[in-house]
Amino acid sequence: MSLLKIIDNPINDIALVTVLRSMIGNFTDNELIKIRIAKPKGNFYEAMCAYKDKEDGEKELIDKINTFLDMIENFRKCEEYMPLNEFIWKIYQDTGYYSYVNLMPNGLLRVANLKLLFEKAKQYEKTSFKGLYNFISFIEKLSISNKDMSGAKLIGENEDVIRIMSIHKSKGLEFPVVFISNTNRKFNVQDLNKSIVLLHQDIGIGSKYINYEEGITYSTLAREAIRYKSKIEQISEEMRILYVGLTRAKEKLIITGLSKDYQKDIKEKEILLNTYRLAQESNKIDKNIIQKYDSYLDWLELVYTNSDKELKEILNVEEHKKEELLKSLFQEEKEEKLDLQDKIDSIELTEKKNLKEKLEWEYEGKIPNNILSKSSVTQVKNMKLDLEEEEIAEYKVPEFLEEEKTISASQKGTLMHLILQKLDEKIDYDISMLKQLIDNLQEKNIITEKEKEAVDIEKVYEFTKTNIWHQMKTAKKVEKEKPFYINIPAKEIYNENIEENILVQGIIDLYYITEDDKLVLVDYKTDKVEKEAELVEKYKTQLDIYKKALEKALNRKVESIYIYSVYLSKEIEV
């Protein structure tokens, strides 16, 4: 494309230098620099012309420039009378570019792309537009709009490969075996639920009502009408998409989906279908039932539950328990380990001995392998290691396999830290303003709806009445959630005489410099305790590390250290 551009107009520096530096021009970087020095200002084509007329120029470089310019001039004359597709093929042959890319890595695909450009030129010749300039503009517009400009495909429709595509992309295609996966995925109705304003081409605009005085929002009749209409339209569209997916297979269709309790789901649908069937005396699935569910899996279960024997003869439903799958995977892992052990046991004794010596070699000055070189403040606080005792690893179930739980105490603590961090000390908060702040965090998806409900607004409000808060309002400087790293001698943590340092990282909740220039350190705690002394004793090591890090970073003394207990609603000076 760059070569076509300079044939049409050589005063295009990027395209010209691209061709010069390629195998077509075969110019080196140093040669291009020499050409530019001949005429520092102006376009590069003028610099080439200036160098070839230069009396003291290098003869080899001058000959190279003349050869290149003659080639461009020759192509320009051919372009005037040749059809565009034939002209492009002539360029491929005369420059040797077609053979060159064929020898490059992934050459077959590169050649296919050159053929694709040739075909585009052939199609272009059949239109009313003519000329190289118009063709270049046509290709550039296609590239910008990204329409019909994907790379050439070497894989045919009937190749023996596995294709992964969306249902939309599969429209119009057929395959011997088709998998429709993840059918339990819920339809995306986030815009309908969370958007303040909804639009519909027939109904118009519907928005939520916002009462700024009370700090509340609620939906309006117009918005609910649009939401209902849009949901019905979305269900219709999802049905069309599912139909496309179900009709792509020639021989076999396999559908997969996850259900927490498949038998319970089927039973629930049977009751629902029987109830509506008694009301309307028809075997047809009522539209109200369809609208109740929001996944392909639910719809497929409805059809299967409501179907006659004919459908059940061609449709085979298999239920695989999570426990059975995990057991099977564990068994496979165990068998792989046994196979590996058999291979190791088959190694000759001498080889095993050499391998063991290499693996167990130790260098001088080795430190115990359970001493961490990097740790967090929390790990240091909780560290009670017995270096002589062997630890037993506990393998927990991965988080994605655990059942959904309510917000834990630690999550609530993290949530309270976030809310306190988001408070603006310049504002005099009341309860309604705090509610609005938390609503805004939820609307911006910083916290979830469940987390929003878990926030104790009264506890947040009580913090704004503390002496710490009043000092922050007049402070010279306030810093929140400041990360730090500090080196601490290992012997201060472990009962070992080790001349090593441990890199400790952590985050300081809050520090500020008061109006009388005193440095104050504050740490929020959400532990449920009865006495203040419990917190001080528990977090003394942690606060000492914060103090050291802050004094080292700011090169000044920390005057006061406070623990703010959210549970007790008290500021505790340490």
pLDDT for 402-440, tens place per residue?
444 577 788 888 888 888 888 888 888 888 888 888 888
- If asked whether residues 379 and 455 sit together in one domain, one would say no
Residue 285 contacts residue 252 (beta carbons within 8 Å): no
- If asked whether residues 449 and 522 sit together in one domain, one would say no
pLDDT digits (tens, 9 = 90+) for 39-78: 888 889 999 888 888 888 888 899 999 999 999 999 888 8
- Per the domain annotation, does 152 fall within a domain? no
Q: Which two tokens stand for residue 8?
A: 């049409």
pLDDT given for residue 399 in this prediction: 53
Residue 173 contacts residue 155 (beta carbons within 8 Å): no
Confidence of residue 280 (pLDDT cuts 50, 70, 90): low
Strand partners, 484: 506
Highest mean pLDDT among 79-83, 126-130, 236-240: 236-240
Question: Which residues are within 8 A (CB) of 250 and not within 5 positions of it... i.e. 6 or more apart?
Answer: 174, 175, 176
pLDDT given for residue 394 in this prediction: 46
Confidence of residue 20 (pLDDT cuts 50, 70, 90): very high
pLDDT exceeds cutoff 50 at 201: yes
pLDDT exceeds cutoff 80 at 342: no
- If asked whether residues 70 and 91 sit together in one domain, one would say yes
How many degrees, rounded to 5, is the angle at CA 119 between CA 113 and CA 120? 90
Proportion of the chain above pLDDT 70, given as a percent: 86
> Which of these three, 145, 177, 212, is where a domain ends?
145
What is each CA distance from 55 to 38, 298, 549, 550, in whole angstroms? 11, 84, 70, 70
pLDDT given for residue 389 in this prediction: 38
- Per the domain annotation, does 129 fall within a domain? yes
Confidence of residue 385 (pLDDT cuts 50, 70, 90): very low
- If asked whether residues 427 and 551 sit together in one domain, one would say no
- If asked whether residues 446 and 553 sit together in one domain, one would say no
pLDDT given for residue 305 in this prediction: 85
- If asked whether residues 29 and 134 sit together in one domain, one would say yes
pLDDT exceeds cutoff 60 at 105: yes
pLDDT given for residue 258 in this prediction: 92
- Per the domain annotation, does 105 fall within a domain? yes
Instruction: Single out the residue of 91, 155, 156, 154 nearest to residue 121, CA to CA.
Output: 91
The C-alpha atoms of residue 446 and residue 431 are separated, in whole angstroms, by 20
Q: Which two tokens stand for residue 365?
A: 């000055």
Q: DSSP per residue over 254-267, as a string?
A: EE----S-HHHHHH
The C-alpha atoms of residue 505 and residue 435 are separated, in whole angstroms, by 33
pLDDT digits (tens, 9 = 90+) for 495-546: 566 667 777 788 888 888 998 888 988 988 888 888 888 888 888 888 888 8
pLDDT given for residue 384 in this prediction: 41
More confident residue, 131 or 241: 241
Q: DSSP per residue over 366-409, as a string?
A: PPPTTS-SEEEHHHHHH----TTSPPPP--PPPGGGSPP-PPPH
Confidence of residue 189 (pLDDT cuts 50, 70, 90): confident
- If asked whether residues 7 and 131 sit together in one domain, one would say yes
Q: Alpha helices, DSSP H only, in 249-308?
A: 262-280, 287-292, 296-306
Q: DSSP per residue over 155-166, as a string?
A: S-TT-S------
- Per the domain annotation, does 75 fall within a domain? yes
- If asked whether residues 521 and 414 sit together in one domain, one would say no
The C-alpha atoms of residue 255 and residue 179 are separated, in whole angstroms, by 6
Question: Which residues are within 8 A (CB) of 26 and not within 5 positions of it... i.e. 6 or more apart?
Answer: 64
> Which of these three, 117, 145, 173, is where a domain ends?
145
Residue 35 is part of a domain; what is its CATH number?
1.10.486.10
pLDDT given for residue 155 in this prediction: 63
- Per the domain annotation, does 381 fall within a domain? yes
- Per the domain annotation, does 141 fall within a domain? yes
CA dihedral sign, ordered 112, 114, 116, 118? negative
- If asked whether residues 45 and 107 sit together in one domain, one would say yes
**Residues of 482-498 as b/e, b for ≥16 C-beta within 10 angstroms?**
eebebebebeebbeeee
Q: Which H, E and C letters describe 80-136, residue by residue?
A: CCCCHHHHHHHHHHHHCHHHHHHCCCCHHHHHHHHHHHHHHHHHHHCCCCCCHHHHH
Tell me what the mean pLDDT of segment 358-364 comes to: 71
**Residues of 296-326 as b/e, b for ≥16 C-beta within 10 angstroms?**
bbbbbbbeebbeeeeeeeeeeeeeeeeeeee
pLDDT given for residue 363 in this prediction: 60
The number of folded domains in the chain is 3
Rounded to 5 degrees, what are φ and ψ at 211? Answer: -100, 100
- If asked whether residues 11 and 112 sit together in one domain, one would say yes
> Which of these three, 128, 145, 162, is where a domain ends?
145
pLDDT exceeds cutoff 60 at 365: no
pLDDT exceeds cutoff 90 at 252: yes
pLDDT exceeds cutoff 60 at 329: yes
pTM for the model stands at: 0.38
- Per the domain annotation, does 254 fall within a domain? no
- Per the domain annotation, does 16 fall within a domain? yes
- If asked whether residues 138 and 15 sit together in one domain, one would say yes
Q: Find the length of the chain.
A: 574
Domain that holds residue 120: 2-145
Output the average pLDDT for the chain.
82
Confidence of residue 376 (pLDDT cuts 50, 70, 90): low
Residue 493 contacts residue 542 (beta carbons within 8 Å): no
380: left (phi over 0), alpha (psi -120 to 50) or beta: alpha
Residue 511 is part of a domain; what is its CATH number?
3.90.320.10
The C-alpha atoms of residue 183 and residue 181 are separated, in whole angstroms, by 6
Strand partners, 520: 512, 560
pLDDT digits (tens, 9 = 90+) for 389-403: 333 344 455 555 544
Q: At what angle do helices 431-443 and 409-422 cross, to 10 degrees?
A: 110
- If asked whether residues 19 and 92 sit together in one domain, one would say yes
Q: Which two tokens stand for residue 544?
A: 């000492």
